[in-house]
A = this chain, B = another copy of it.
Amino acid sequence: MNNSIAQSVVQTLEKVLSKEKDSIALHEPVFNGNEWQYLKDCLDSGWVSTAGKYVDVFESKLAEFTGAKYTIAVINGTAALQLCLKLVGVGADDEVLMPALTFVATANAVTYCGAIPHFVDSEESTLGICPEKLEDYLCETVEIKHNECFNKKTGRRIKAIVPMHTFGHPADLDPLSQICKRFFITMVEDATESMGSYYKGVHTGNWGKASALSFNGNKVMTTGGGGAILTNNEYIAKKARHLSTTARLSHKWEYDHDCVGYNYRLPNINASLGCAQLEQLPEFLNKKRTLVDRYRDVFEDVDGVSVFTEPDFARSNYWLNVLLLNEENIVLRDEILEQTNRQGIMTRPVWKLMHRLSMYKNCPRMELHVAENLEKRLINIPSSVVLNGHN
């Protein structure tokens, strides 16, 4: 690839993307359903805050859609993940395995629990944690004592692992589950990017003992800001609901709380938006598949770059589409980012890897060759539902 090929990437993107707008966002929401009606109903009823019928409806519709037995709607994906970790027993000075290739919230949620992120490598076929490398690494790094996993170097307990479904693409959950069993590690899925993504026919978020969803404005569907905890464990569900409502004990008028809780429940007004968005999600997901099909079509003719495609076992929501540069073309990543953004087509590289961030640079980690390689080669391209690929 050379500069002219960088140019051809831009031209190929332009083929797909409407030029009616001055700038094309990476991911913007669509509100063509019952959003109006439900918001108005909130105002008319006076219920806009952390109690109200839309919170209940949203939770039950989410459970239905994802197949998870229990869902608890909260203020955002980070809060959801923090509570998930706390609820599976992650505490001060525990280590939590997670990909180095993730958004910073995954590591922050661990830090809020007083625990330490421990970074592991990814695999190119899923963009998620590589089960094979992980297993080899754990064999060398940990010892099992009384059915708990300890890092031999640091002496700290490794309590949990957080597979993150990168850009909506499911990590390879079956082998990861096997590893969890073998090494006595609890799985919490960071499914904040994978609402509408399935692994072997089952919605993501059903493998973790508890899992986190996000409905931020840039996600497949949005509540403004919001998230949810998914779990199939009744005790965790009850406790999640309790912790997210300041741990207040039920009473007609008394304000008693039995532990340190959080003010994390999703307001009714945001839940009402979520109800309307969830109704449209199947249509959103279809449109997003049309878009990636179109991207694949047009990039077939461009040498040195490929469009990331879900593995056979997955059905991805294709939240953010991914271009991968071939090894020999790594040097042009920044040029492509420059040219596309200059022309109003928003693109971006993957997040700075976690072990390069100043506050996480001293955390334990395995060697991270694949993540570091992907970081150099990966570009996210516009992926909104409105870009149906045939403008």
Q: Which residues of A contact B (CB under 8 A)?
A: 28-31, 35-36, 39-40, 43-44, 46-51, 75-79, 103-105, 108, 111-112, 216-218, 222, 224-225, 246-248, 252-263, 265-270, 273, 337, 341, 347-349, 351-352, 357-359
Given contacts A46-B29, A48-B29, A217-B48, contact A258 B359 (CB under 8 A): yes
In the complex, the answer to whether B263 meets A79 with C-beta atoms within 8 Å is yes
In the complex, the answer to whether B263 meets A78 with C-beta atoms within 8 Å is yes
Given contacts A31-B43, A35-B43, contact A337 B263 (CB under 8 A): no
| Shortest Cβ distance from residue A329 to the other chain B in the assembled complex, whole angstroms | 18
In the complex, the answer to whether B273 meets A270 with C-beta atoms within 8 Å is no
In the complex, the answer to whether B43 meets A217 with C-beta atoms within 8 Å is no
In the complex, the answer to whether B347 meets A253 with C-beta atoms within 8 Å is yes
Name 19 A/B residue pairs within 8 A (Cβ), A-sorted.
Answer: A29-B48, A30-B46, A31-B44, A49-B218, A51-B217, A75-B75, A75-B76, A75-B225, A76-B263, A78-B262, A104-B257, A111-B260, A224-B267, A253-B341, A253-B347, A253-B349, A256-B357, A267-B270, A269-B273
What separation, in Å, do the CA atoms of A347 and B254 have in the docked complex?
A: 10
Given contacts A76-B263, A258-B358, A260-B359, contact A108 B217 (CB under 8 A): no
Contact of A104 (CB < 8 Å), options: B222, B224, B261: B261
What separation, in Å, do the CA atoms of A349 and B268 have in the docked complex?
A: 26
How many copies are assembled? 2
In the complex, the answer to whether A349 meets B254 with C-beta atoms within 8 Å is yes
Residues on B with C-beta less than 8 A from A217 are 47-51, 267-268
Among A28, A49, A265, max chain B CB count under 10 A is at: A49
Among A50, A112, A224, A252, max chain B CB count under 10 A is at: A224
What separation, in Å, do the CA atoms of A217 and B31 have in the docked complex?
A: 25
Given contacts A29-B48, A75-B225, contact A358 B259 (CB under 8 A): yes
Given contacts A75-B225, A258-B359, A268-B224, contact A50 B337 (CB under 8 A): no
Contact of A269 (CB < 8 Å), options: B76, B270, B341, B359: B270
Instruction: Find the B residue at minimum CB distance from A76.
Output: B263
Residues on B with C-beta less than 8 A from A252 are 341
In the complex, the answer to whether B224 meets A49 with C-beta atoms within 8 Å is yes
Residues on B with C-beta less than 8 A from A39 are 39, 43
What separation, in Å, do the CA atoms of A79 and B246 have in the docked complex?
A: 13
In the complex, the answer to whether B50 meets A225 with C-beta atoms within 8 Å is yes
Other than the given A28-B46, A256-B357, 16 more pairs (CB < 8 A) read: A31-B46, A39-B43, A48-B273, A49-B216, A49-B225, A75-B76, A105-B263, A217-B267, A225-B266, A253-B348, A254-B348, A254-B349, A255-B352, A267-B270, A269-B273, A270-B270
| Shortest Cβ distance from residue A52 to the other chain B in the assembled complex, whole angstroms | 8
In the complex, the answer to whether B222 meets A48 with C-beta atoms within 8 Å is yes
In the complex, the answer to whether B104 meets A246 with C-beta atoms within 8 Å is yes
| Shortest Cβ distance from residue A274 to the other chain B in the assembled complex, whole angstroms | 11
Residues on B with C-beta less than 8 A from A28 are 46
Contact of A262 (CB < 8 Å), options: B36, B46, B108, B225: B108
In the complex, the answer to whether A255 meets B103 with C-beta atoms within 8 Å is yes
Instruction: Find the B residue at minimum CB distance from A30.
Output: B46
What separation, in Å, do the CA atoms of A248 and B357 have in the docked complex?
A: 11
| Shortest Cβ distance from residue A314 to the other chain B in the assembled complex, whole angstroms | 24
